[in-house]
Structure 1
Amino acid sequence: MALAVPAWAQGAKTPSAPADPSCKGVAVEWPADLKAWGITAVPVTAATASAAAPTLTPGVPARVTLAPKAGVTLAAAPPASQSKPVAESTYAGILSFTVPAAGPYRIALDAGAWIDVVAEGKALDSTSHKHGPNCSGIHKVVDFGLAAGTYQLQLSNSLVPAVTVLVVPPQG
């Protein structure tokens, strides 16, 4: 049985670290669900309001340009129980994606940022979170159990103005 882990537990503390010198020349062994991380990311500019959110395609990485947080109206406020520390100058943005069938979806990022998946104006709880494989460039992976439908992906509290994101569909 999976335990629900609030999205605030994601621990976005720092932007992606400089390349680890110990990773030079190391071939990354990708788990099957993250193999798409290695393909060229499509450029996307995140919206500053939910009505204009561009659509991501699950399974295709995107290099997302974010906006200064002050100019972004988030799709949903985090649940009141979530207390997120916010740095003074951060970046944020809103995207959307469609889930054709229910299942476990993952959101992978190359930098520290808060990830919220929003449905019907409410941020959903994540089911787990972890770091990406060593030397992969993936900073974090957050899992969500999603029903079929369209969702908004809200990225916030990023210390960097652009992040690579991959919505990972269920494997199997």
Structure 2
Amino acid sequence: MAREKGMVMRGVVLAMVVMTLAAPAWAQGADPSCKGVAVEWPADLKAWRLAAVPVTAATGSAAAPSIAPGSPARVTLAPKEGVALAVNPPKPAADKTYAGTVSFTVPMAGPYRVALDGTAWVDVVMDGKSLDSTSHKHGPNCSGIHKVVDFGLAAGTYVLQLSNSPAATVTVLVVPPQN
């Protein structure tokens, strides 16, 4: 009987450890009901499945680190109080949120998408001005993509400003135009 109780306790402890380790993934939008579900990936978002490159976002006027369109980046943000944003987002930041900036270069004009795994506010900034998006949508079911924001961009270098994120890290994919 004591041996059975010990095995049960070990099982409970193991379950608690697994739940604790998995909790950050669930908090980032991973839905446990998606286990084993095949994602229908549109061609433009297939790069989301690649390994994300770790990047620490800039917090001020210093040059923002660059991310490459077509390659996912796992961006570490800073507490909003320590970040000077390029433009003020229209939505005020909530308490205990994170922000930061990265840059990306567009080699040719076209429709670009910004896909995120979280609920951060997205601004694409050029010459100190936030550009208008052309559409907003959710990612494919069970993909881990929370939202996709579209922009019509000219060739040039842009600042991608992320703010009002409840999480300190966000996966980002800048999707170039599809041929």
1:39-118 alignment, distance < 5 Å:
39-78=50-89, 82=90, 84-118=91-125
Question: How many residues align structurally?
Answer: 153
Q: Supply the distance in 1 between the matched residues of 2:174 and 2:32 (Cα, whole angstroms).
A: 28
RMSD: 1.1
Within the alignment, does 1:23 sit opposite 2:34 as a pair? yes
Distance 2:158 2:147 in 1: 20
Amino acid at match of 2:166: L
Paired residue secondary structure (1:55):
coil
- TM-score, normalization: structure 1? 0.86
Q: In 2 relative to 1, CA 56–50 (structure 1 residues): closer, same or farther, beyond 3 Å?
A: farther
Unaligned runs of 5+ in 1: 1-14
Letter in 2 for 1:116: D
Q: What amino acid is aligned across from residue 28 of structure 1 in structure 2?
A: V
Whose radius of gyration is greater, 1 or 2?
2
Give the share of equivalent positions with the same residue, in percent.
77
Q: Which runs of 4+ in 1 moved over 4 A?
A: none
Structure possessing the higher relative contact order (Cα contacts under 8 Å, 6 or more residues apart): 1
Q: Which residue of 2 aligns with 1:3?
A: none
Aligned match for 1:162, one of 144, 165, 169: 169
Check whether the contact 1:44–1:62 (CA below 8 A) recurs between aligned residues: yes
Unaligned runs of 5+ in 2: 1-26
Tell me how far apart the structure 1 counterparts of residues 61 and 131 of structure 2 sit (CA, whole Å). Answer: 16
| Aligned mates of 2:108, 2:85 — CA distance in 1 | 26
Structure richer in helix, relative to its length: 2
Secondary structure of the structure 2 residue equivalent to 1:135: coil
Q: 2:127 maps to which residue?
A: 120
Q: Could you report, residue by residue, the CA deviation over 1:98-156 in whole angstroms, capped at 9, with x for unpaired residues?
A: 00000000000000000000000000110000000000000000000000000000000
Structure 1 residues 67 and 27, CA gap change in structure 2 (3 angstroms): same
| SS of match in other structure, 2:40 | coil
- Residue aligning to 2:144: 137
TM-score normalized with structure 2 length:
0.82
Residue-by-residue CA offset, 1:45-89 (whole Å, 9 max, x unaligned): 0000143200010000000000000110101223xxx3x142111
Please say if residues 53 and 95 of structure 1, whose CA atoms lie closer than 8 Å, have aligned partners that are also in contact. yes
Distance 1:128 1:50, change over 3 A: farther
CA distance in 2, matches of 1:73, 1:85: 14
| CA distance in structure 1 between the aligned counterparts of 2:72 and 2:61, rounded to whole angstroms | 20
SS of the counterpart of 2:62?
Answer: helix
